[in-house]
Copies of this chain bind each other. A is one copy, B any other.
Amino acid sequence: MKVSLNQTVESLTGAQNILIIAHKDPDGDTVGAAFALYYALRSLDKHVRIACHDPIPEKYDAITSGYTKEDFTPEFVIAVDVADIQLFGESLKQYEDKVDLCIDHHVSNKLYASQTYLSTSAAATCEALYELLIRMNVKIDKKIADCLYTGIVTDTGCFKFTSTTANTHIVAARLFECGANYDMINREMFDNKSKSRLLLESMVLKAIEFYFGDRCALIVITKEMVDKTGADQTVFDGISGVTKQIEGVDVGITIRQVQGSEYRVSFRTSERVSAFELAAAFDGGGHVRAAGCIINGEILEVKEKLLEKTGEKLKPYLK
């Protein structure tokens, strides 16, 4: 059931011994929202614990550093930025039908919780959460401001995505006034590339292939390339975004060799083509502009299949 801001405030105020769930493969918005809510509820003297199927990546250290794990039996379960129970992950499966409140901004939210506060106009769950915390009379301290700002910048690509609104900027301004360490956060989130990442980028940029009159850009990242850079998995964060930055490109395809003949494929598309439909053609999924799938086969064969499907989608735009 969807609930209003006031009802949500009431539920939160009445709750005690709270478990906050962040989604698996945690991103800045789910981490930011979980920890902002944690610090807020702790300031109201409630018992609070955070659960996430996967470890929280190191780059969020600054916002997770004030966390102390408490042992208690949860009486109230909140999921933040979790659109679907599929995103709980195996280790939190037990809570799938026990969520009292979900705070989210995804249009695709499955309304699996007893109460769902869904603000689809918010660019990030953290943007919606700011409003909520203000209504609860929580003092937005530096730490909470850092959490909320992290969620907002990561979910908007630093105010670039079309989900950004005037209100997103207003909230950012308020968080600046509360002392958000935006410089450190932006560097951690966007500008902290390792030397191996730079090397990989250099190789990737040099190896971009163009098809269909430059409307399609394709990148192949082999295990050999990655090994050469000495990088770990995090080196891939955002690398498929590279294809989206190229002038005139409608479909960006990044093919990454996982192992042997297993390839992970990312699609990034302009408003002309649905990335979701492309991925779905290969049993994958995702969003309209960003989606992915796994394909097995020899690389030339994988490329051919992908280009054939891409050609179909681009047909109306080719001269």
Contact = CB atoms under 8 A, between A and B. Distances in A.
Nearest to A189: B160
Give the most central of A166, A169, A170, A194: most B CB within 10 Å.
A169
Interface in A87-130: none
Interface in A246-263: 246-247
Q: A-side binding surface: helix, strand, loop or mixed?
A: helix
Contact of A173 (B160, B167, B193): B167
A276 to B, nearest CB: 17
A244 B191 contact: yes
Contacts of A190: 160, 245
A32 B69 CA distance: 50
A186 B160 contact: yes
A201 B205 contact: yes
Contacts of A271: 183
A199 interface: yes
A162 B183 contact: yes
A3 interface: no
Interface string A132-159: 0000000000000000000000000011
A13 interface: no
A198 interface: yes
A247 B176 contact: no
Interface residues of A, number: 38
Contacts of A164: 176, 182
B159 A159 contact: yes
The oligomer's copy count stands at 2
Nearest to A158: B158
A177 interface: yes
Contacts of A246: 192-195, 198
A165 B244 CA distance: 28
Contacts of A245: 190-193
Interface in A208-257: 208, 210, 214, 244-247
A37 interface: no
Nearest to A163: B183
15 contacts: A160-B191, A162-B183, A164-B182, A166-B176, A167-B173, A169-B169, A169-B172, A170-B170, A170-B173, A191-B244, A191-B245, A192-B246, A193-B245, A193-B246, A198-B208
A147 to B, nearest CB: 17
A157 to B, nearest CB: 8
A169 B246 CA distance: 27
A202 interface: yes
Contacts of A198: 205, 208, 246
A174 interface: yes
Contacts of A186: 160
Contacts of A160: 158, 182-183, 186, 190-191
A206 interface: yes
The 6 closest A-B pairs by CB, nearest first: A202-B205, A169-B173, A166-B176, A166-B173, A191-B245, A202-B206
